[in-house]
């Protein structure tokens, strides 16, 4: 039996590199040799034991790699082909998928999120891909691993926040928090035609990156109250769309306070603790507000669209990759990423 290295959740507080058998492809599945992957904020929640993952599971849901094996019934692909696979791997054939709720595959909340959650993930040398026909997305020639590394989750989620906000040409959009996902929401708002994009954070590098990716205004919330400033910029009206990209009561509430009547709060954050709706900002339920939550859209078609966007030069998300580690040093990478020091945005992991 061929063995490989894999980053395994061994219990709260510990992700360790272990030896595991290389997976094999069953019918409809594929095995991908991982050439690059990355660490997500959710992985840090798992590491901290805040998310219910079984000890022993390989972590990671953002694979870039090369097809190593194709199971029975998987056609139209070749061994050796470079592919991206989304963090969410819909089956395409259940009721939820057939009604275009692929992220909720199987009808269960977050059911489409399998990698590093309910099946072994991709912070390893190899990863088994379920429902391969629906999920293997060939990488266009000319795009490097690092160029497409944000596709599986960060770019798909951030763009999803902009898309589901229903942004129209000429809209004012405010994006609260400029971590990797918020930055992609900012970029997505730009791509959808917002004419005034306001990015909120406090880390100077992140605010600078927000400008690079499309923000017209940046607000350091430690220096300026973002709600006041957004209302000021919009003559008291509020933003047409606000995007929450952190997952805290404060940012959620600010998104509602900075929103105009009839506007949309597009929520991307993973919340913990309690979440309440301030009734004054919510117009007691009479403001024609919309609150839309989005889990990372997946599937090969989504991945292809995102790669189309990168291939056309609309934006370059290599900017988000601030650090690089070999898989062997992934514990170090987790420590850096969790500490949010050294200007870290995303770390590339190379098996």
CB of 341 to a copy of itself, least distance (A): 26
Q: Which residues on adjacent β-strands are paired with residue 112?
A: none
CA–CA separation, 104 vs 47, rounded Å?
24
- β partners of residue 176: 200, 244
Q: Per the structure block, which two tokens stand in for 351? A: 């098996």
Binding residue for a copy of itself (CB under 8 A) from 2, 54, 223, 276? 276
Closer residue to a copy of itself in complex, CB, 128/192: 192
Q: Which of 78, 273, 341, 342 binds a copy of itself (CB under 8 A)?
A: 273
* Beta pairing, strands 290-293 & 259-267: parallel
Residues 199-258 close enough to bind a copy of itself by CB under 8 A: 216, 237, 247
Candidates 31-39, 271-279, 322-330, 341-349: pick the segment binding a copy of itself (CB under 8 A). Answer: 271-279
Q: Which of 3, 79, 270, 328 binds a copy of itself (CB under 8 A)?
A: 270
Distance separating alpha carbons of residues 247 and 28, to the nearest angstrom: 36
Q: What is the DSSP letter of 155?
A: I
Binder to a copy of itself among 93, 144, 339, 340 (CB under 8 A)?
93
Shortest Cβ 70–a copy of itself spacing (Å) = 13
- Using DSSP, state whether 156 is helix, strand or coil: helix
Residues 180-199 that bind a copy of itself (CB under 8 A): 188, 191-193, 195-196
DSSP for 231-248 reads HHHTTTS-EEEEEE-S--
Task: Verify binding: residue 267, a copy of itself, rule CB under 8 A.
Answer: yes
Report the residue number, 144 or 308, with the smaller CB distance to a copy of itself: 308
Q: Which is nearer to a copy of itself, 6 or 255 (CB)?
A: 255
Residue 165 touches a copy of itself, criterion: CB under 8 A? no
What whole-number distance in Å separates Cα of residue 160 and Cα of residue 156? 6
- The yes or no reply on residue 287 touching a copy of itself (CB under 8 A) is yes
Question: Is 222 or 274 the residue whose CB approaches a copy of itself more closely?
Answer: 274
Contacts of residue 109, defined as CB under 8 A and 6 or more positions apart, other chains included, come to none
Binding characters for a copy of itself, 53-92, by CB under 8 A (x = yes): -------------------xx----------------xxx
Torsions phi, psi of 69, nearest 5?
Answer: -155, 140
Angle between helices 300-311 and 156-164 (to 10 degrees): 90
């Amino acid at each position: 039996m061929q063995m490989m290295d894999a980053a395994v959740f061994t219990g709260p507080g510990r992700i360790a590199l272990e030896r595991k058998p290389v997976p094999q492809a069953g019918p409809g599945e594929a095995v991908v040799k991982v050439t690059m992957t990355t660490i997500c904020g959710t992985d840090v929640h798992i590491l901290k034991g805040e998310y219910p993952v079984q000890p022993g599971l390989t972590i990671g849901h953002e694979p870039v790699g090369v097809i190593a094996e194709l199971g029975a019934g998987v056609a139209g692909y070749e061994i050796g082909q470079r592919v991206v696979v989304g963090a969410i791997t819909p089956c395409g054939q259940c009721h939820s998928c057939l009604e275009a709720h692929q992220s909720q595959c199987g009808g269960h909340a977050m059911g489409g999120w399998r990698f590093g959650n309910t099946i072994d993930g991709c912070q390893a040398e190899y990863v088994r891909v379920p429902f391969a026909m629906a999920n293997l997305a060939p990488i266009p020639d000319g795009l490097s691993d690092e160029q497409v590394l944000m596709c599986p989750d960060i770019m798909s989620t951030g763009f999803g926040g902009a898309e589901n906000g229903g942004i129209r040409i000429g809209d004012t959009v405010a994006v609260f928090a400029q971590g990797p996902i918020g930055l992609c929401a900012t970029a997505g708002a730009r791509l959808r035609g917002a004419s005034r994009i306001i990015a909120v954070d406090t880390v100077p590098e992140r605010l600078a990156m927000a400008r690079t990716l499309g923000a017209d205004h940046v607000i350091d919330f430690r220096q300026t109250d973002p709600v006041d400033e957004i209302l000021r910029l919009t003559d008291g009206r509020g933003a047409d769309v606000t995007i929450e990209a952190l997952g805290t009561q404060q940012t959620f509430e600010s998104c509602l306070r900075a929103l105009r009547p009839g506007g949309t709060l597009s929520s991307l954050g993973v919340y913990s603790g309690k979440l309440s709706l301030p009734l004054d900002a919510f117009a007691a339920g009479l403001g024609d507000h919309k609150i839309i939550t989005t889990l990372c859209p997946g599937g090969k078609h989504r991945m292809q669209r995102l790669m189309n966007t990168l291939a056309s030069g609309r934006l370059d998300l290599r900017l988000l990759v601030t650090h690089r580690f070999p898989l062997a040093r992934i514990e170090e990478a987790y420590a850096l990423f969790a500490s949010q020091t050294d200007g870290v945005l995303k770390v590339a992991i190379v098996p």
